[in-house]
Structure 1
Amino acid sequence: MVMGWRLFAAFLISLVLAACSDVFFHQPYRVLLEPSQLGYEVDDQGKITIVGNNAYVQVAPGAPGGYLERYEYVVVDDSGSEVFAGSSLGSGFVAVEVPEGREVSQDGQVRYLSKKSDPFRFSLDGRVAAEHLNQGAPLNWRVQVTWFVRTFNNDNEISWTQEYQIKYPLQ
């Protein structure tokens, strides 16, 4: 009988840890794009038009709020090699508020939930689009972006890297 309770207690503890793992063991933020790829189009005269992306920070339940301050990126080709190696091509500032992944009701009840920031613009750089087109628009070029969030509660900087595919034409 005692062994059964121990197994049950171990099972409950593992469930609690699994529920918390999204915030404590995984990345609490992701930047999602609409459309989901970075791309461009080319008209009949060869003029490149960058497709604008709306981006927002998806916040995991329980994640702290803060500001998405900046990003750095590199462009990699089909083999994973940097396209503009040694270049200072890819960085920028964002200044988007990231909501906290919880709500507290008037009676003090805490609800942990997924939230998202207000949208901001993040699109392919024109120099990258021109080089991609000059190389014959290869299928597997990607932009590897490192995002940086400064949290409200303890002023920590949290960074993570995401990869976005470059697509031509992106309609």
Structure 2
Amino acid sequence: MKNNVALALLVLLAPVVVLTHVSWSQKDNGLMFNVDGRDVDFVGVIKDKWRIATNSCKTVAELDSEDPKLRMVKAAIQSFSPPDSIPIKAIHVWTSGTWGVAEVEFENLLPAVVTVKNLDKDPTLVDDAIWSGITAPWKSGPFIRTYLGQKSYGTPEELLNCFELQTVSFK
């Protein structure tokens, strides 16, 4: 077979093969791809890669488990909807200035990502800026960042762009 014929066949058949394995549909929250029966959030993957490549996270830090601010944030979260919010399995808190974002896994509640303000004095949860639940099939990071960005006025954009989800629930 001549090289020209092989190249022409490759160009014609490659899209056919790809399209037999890949489809897409418009869902409520955007475009969802389906690869061999499995939903894949390619748009979320691309957003996350772009976020990592283009953001400077100099003012954002994850709190150590022994940090007094982390304990104050934990106490504020536990008092938000007791008794179910009291037993916490895992908590990760990122800060920028007097703002924070906490990722929490509970014993009895769905996992949550919570926006917190006034970290230096009296940590307060921003009521409207709380994500609770699983994001599947959407990629968790971009989905939750968009939600918190729409609900939390005043939260530093760098904080929203730089916190990294750590728990099994959102990976």
Query: Do both share a fold (TM > 0.5)?
Result: no
| Alignment TM-score, normalising by the size of structure 2 | 0.29
Higher helix share: 2
Higher strand share: 1
**Whose RCO is larger (CA < 8 A, sep 6+)?**
1
| Alignment TM-score, normalising by the size of structure 1 | 0.29
